[in-house]
Structure 1
Amino acid sequence: MLRRLYDWTMSLAARKSAEKWLAVIAFIESSVFLVPADVLYLPMALARPQKAYRYALIATVASVLGGIAGWFLGYYAFETVAKPILEFYGKFDAFERLRTSVDYQMVLLLLVTSGLAHLPPIKVVTILSGVAHINIWLFIVSAIVARGARFLLLAWLLKRYGEPIRDFIERRLGQIAGVGAAVLIVLYVAYRYFLH
């Protein structure tokens, strides 16, 4: 099922309505969808490099709005809507482990790492942010910084290096961003451990 979803998302890049689809996918990825918006963003930006930053802006705005929707799901409708979504994707156990083991500051750190590297998946953290009652304005600023940094970095790489960088991005950028996110988490945990 995941492969078909991925292939369908990729096919949207060739449509005239690709920008609208990018906005839709980026929005729902942040709260309920499994396939990241990068899958649609990359072929679009490679096909029209002059629009890479425009696409990055569309993806960022839609992703932040989707994150706000995820926050509201967690804050107001966890039991009725968010929990069934997490269970459907098999993410509920991971969510529960996060919910019981993190504090307010850690949720903010996870928001940044998930926005940059999908570690953990963005939908899990947006819902968790609502459940943890993270301040909505702080949440929005964090989401803008993290998601904007990710899409703008992709735009810059694609404009600078073009097609040769695509394979690197698809195979390695997630790993590099994941390592960076893991380092941030380790530094935070070490900071908390040694100061407390």
Structure 2
Amino acid sequence: MPLFTALYDRVLRWSAHRRAPWLLGALSFAESSFFPIPPDVMLAPMSIARPRHAVRLATITTLTSVAGGVLGYLIGLLGLELVLPLIVDAGYEPAYEQARAWFTQWGFWVVLVAGFSPIPYKVFTIAAGAMAVAWLPFVIASLLGRGARFYLVAMLLAWGGPRAEPWLRRYMERIGWLSVILLLVIVLALSL
């Protein structure tokens, strides 16, 4: 049984639910501070299912993601010693150490790029708090980076809309497994 196609079909059905924007916001918030699944997995099918609401969905995703990022920042600032063992156990320690090194070198720009990239954003939010990066630039960079990513996803899929859905469904297994491989390559590269 195809794993990613079945998940995609289920998320597409959920995206039509009247409470789906609330679930999207909750997922976005959680992913930015502690949860491993990115909100794109809900935002993409929701933007296909509701193309006229794509801007609203991207806004919800961006704002709740940044709010979750602020929670991650506070975790790093106030409770790093409590969560550091979890970071190590989850295999994020190399990424966390790399994020700390990048903050020392590039500051604001690291948050901006991390917000847009597939690298786990939560690692950067916690590292930013642990290093006491200036709060306002952190929030601004998060808004710009996360906003750019989520508006791009939402608008592209809303634009493709019903035309994109059959193509996505047909290639979902390949896209899903390629995403897993890409994530593993990133984790391996960061751990070296």
Deviation by residue 1:17-63 (Cα, 9 ceiling, x = unmatched): 11111000000100101110000111111111111111000000000
Aligned equivalents of 1:144, 1:70: Cα separation in 2:
14
1:77 deviates by 0.5
State the percentage of identical aligned residues. 31
1:164 deviates by 4.4
Aligned equivalents of 1:61, 1:46: Cα separation in 2:
20
Aligned equivalents of 1:78, 1:122: Cα separation in 2:
16
Match of 1:131? 130
1:14 deviates by 4.3
TM-score calculated relative to the size of structure 2? 0.76
The 3 A distance-change label for structure 1 pair 13 and 60 is: same
Is 1:108 the counterpart of 2:108? The answer is yes
Taking the TM superposition and a 5 Å limit, the aligned residue runs for 1:157-168 are: 157-165=156-164, 167=168
Aligned equivalents of 1:135, 1:153: Cα separation in 2:
27
Structure 2, unaligned runs of 5 or more: 183-192
**SS of residue matched to 2:133:** coil
TM-score calculated relative to the size of structure 1? 0.74
User: What is the identity, as a one-letter code, of the residue corresponding to 1:153?
Assistant: L
1:12 deviates by 4.2
Taking the TM superposition and a 5 Å limit, the aligned residue runs for 1:45-194 are: 45-80=47-82, 82-99=83-100, 101-118=101-118, 120-165=119-164, 167=168, 171=175
Count of residue correspondences? 169
Deviation by residue 1:148-169 (Cα, 9 ceiling, x = unmatched): 1111112221232224446399
Aligned equivalents of 2:77, 2:44: Cα separation in 1:
32
Aligned equivalents of 1:145, 1:17: Cα separation in 2:
26
Match of 2:31? 29
Structure 1, unaligned runs of 5 or more: 179-196
